[in-house]
Structure 1
Amino acid sequence: MWEIKMDLFPYAKKLETKLEHFNFYKASEILESFSFLNYYNKFLSYDNKNKLRNLMLDERSGWIRKEIYCHEIETYNNDYYKFCLKCFEEDSVSGVPYWHITHNLPGVTYCERHKCKLVVSNVLFNGKELVALSSQVKKSVPPLLSDKEEKILKLIAEQTDYLFHTKEDISKYIPLYISYLYDMGYLNGFKINEKKLKKHFNNFFSNNICEVLNIEKEFVISKIIETISSSIKELHPLFHILFIIFCGRKIEDLDKSNLILTPFNSELLHKTCRCFDGIYIHNSSLRFRNKGLVGSYQCSSCGNAYNINSWDKKISVSYGSSFSEQVLELLFIEDLSISDICYKLNINVTELKNHLIFK
């Protein structure tokens, strides 16, 4: 049976039983507060989130590794526990020092609270034996990289900490990755310029950083491209964080930048609304298929929802409530003609008449 490392320990029910006298947490609460569950499940489907939680509660450690992210759970974790010297001092004064979850998440090399480099202990991160953090634990200080490289490592720690603590469903922003590539010039028509994207991604993350993170750049960006092209959400959280940083964004700001230029050519743009100088979207589920772009998106102003198949240049529209209000205002308050309304709202006469009849 596979050994699962301490990040997804399947011992919550045993802890609940042993600590029952002290009115401690329930098993489910232990998983939420003292395991990596909140990290790994951010990009899992609803069914797999429940499967992961149930496997941990049912103490089936071998199945955890087999079912969730396959080898990636083990590959990108640490070999040894890490800790922050300043946290250790503070914990020693206020109580008992302990291993912090956020110090040992994949890719983390900085303490987000104190903004300082973590030190590496000699305690193996293998799930077989848990050694308490104390002054007896030997430690080593990792060498500093260049200022640019350390800045990226700090960003990874910051974004990982936010991802772990947020209650928001981050996976809903994955369809917007297409627009990030469009804004950065990596879309040619409806096809990702993989050669250019891979080259820039590989240059952005140095070999030193990849060695620290234990990643292969080519593999990471290939998996990211596969995820974007197919709209698959289930990719290791570390890969998502690396892509978001590469795009110059932060997880906590994704909802604020949810109005993004759509990667549509001029033949499709003229069929959509004219609420902005450019065309903006939200609630997107756009994905690539057969070298075309398919899916749906919604205008954040008028509420119009569009379904698109790029290869046959067809768009079907579901008009929003704001659109209906615009039509009535133009018709009865501004007293515009049907043709003037059609021009202003970028809609043909037949569609407008049908909309008014059904309303």
Structure 2
Amino acid sequence: MCSVTDLPCHLDILSKRIPGNAISKEKLVQKHTLLLYYSHFIPQERLENILFEMYFNKGSSVHMKLGLTANSVKSHRYLKYCISCARNDRYQYGLAYWHRVHQLPGVTVCYKHKNQLWESNVLYAQRRNKHEFIPLDTILEDVSFMGGFVENHLSLLIAENS
């Protein structure tokens, strides 16, 4: 199976492999894909067909059925992240994760923090390593990011405690 950022498929298999049936295929689609965003622009019958593809098939036609292949609005070339979200994720969950809202076409600012989103070096659509999942935390461990992260974090702590 190939790793797909926005509209992954085989979600029925994935949901069954998560220990303890922790998340249903329906919740995976609703909370962890971009389908909800695109669903407002297509008829219900087509949406149901796309859902079936995402749940049970390889989904080779999902992007086409949504009109994304002929769309003039293109997705970003690289995955994006908000430094403040990453910091909060690490504090709350112990690791940072890719936020789906940051990957929406045309989005360049975090709605929550009003920060400019940072562009990673992780391609939005992998061509070579189609089976690779790259956690955001592995990107944030880059020395240049951590230096800025630590400096900004220290500045924030000093400001808050002054």
Q: Same fold (TM over 0.5)?
A: yes
- Is the partner of 1:61 in helix, strand or coil? coil
How many pairs are equivalent? 137
Offset, 1:37: 0.9
Q: Residues 73 and 105 of structure 2 are in contact (CA less than 8 Å); yes or no, is this contact kept in structure 1? A: no
Specify the code of the residue in structure 1 equivalent to 2:96. P
- Tell me which stretches of 4 or more aligned residues in structure 1 moved more than 3 Å: 72-75, 137-140
- Number of the residue aligned with 1:130: 133
- Number of the residue aligned with 2:114: 115
**Distance across 1 between alignment mates of 2:97 and 2:58:** 26
- Is the partner of 1:126 in helix, strand or coil? coil
Whose radius of gyration is greater, 1 or 2? 1
Unpaired segments of 5 or more residues in structure 2?
Answer: 146-162
**Which of 28, 31, 41 is matched with 1:30 structurally?**
28
**Distance across 2 between alignment mates of 1:26 and 1:46:** 21
Question: TM-score, normalized by length of structure 1?
Answer: 0.35
Q: Residues 53 and 62 of structure 2 are in contact (CA less than 8 Å); yes or no, is this contact kept in structure 1? A: yes
Structure with higher RCO (Cα < 8 A, 6+ apart): 2
Offset, 1:23: 3.3
- Number of the residue aligned with 2:88: 90
Change (3 A) 1:10 1:123: same
Question: TM-score, normalized by length of structure 2?
Answer: 0.75
- Number of the residue aligned with 1:9: 8
Change (3 A) 1:50 1:117: same
Percent identity reads 25
**Distance across 2 between alignment mates of 1:29 and 1:114:** 26
**Distance across 2 between alignment mates of 1:73 and 1:138:** 38
Offset, 1:11: 3.1
- Number of the residue aligned with 1:48: 46
- Give CA-to-partner distance per residue, 1:149-170, whole Å, 9 cap, x none: xxxxxxxxxxxxxxxxxxxxxx
Q: Residues 5 and 74 of structure 1 are in contact (CA less than 8 Å); yes or no, is this contact kept in structure 2? A: no
**Distance across 2 between alignment mates of 1:88 and 1:74:** 31
Specify the code of the residue in structure 1 equivalent to 2:141. Q
Q: Going by fraction, where is strand more abundant, 1 or 2?
A: 1
Offset, 1:63: 1.4
- Give CA-to-partner distance per residue, 1:4-44, whole Å, 9 cap, x none: 8410010312221211x333111111111100110111111
Residues 1:65 and 2:63 are matched in the alignment: yes
Unpaired segments of 5 or more residues in structure 1?
Answer: 141-359
Offset, 1:126: 1.5
RMSD across aligned C-alpha pairs, in angstroms? 2.4
Change (3 A) 1:16 1:84: same
Q: Residues 121 and 139 of structure 1 are in contact (CA less than 8 Å); yes or no, is this contact kept in structure 2? A: no
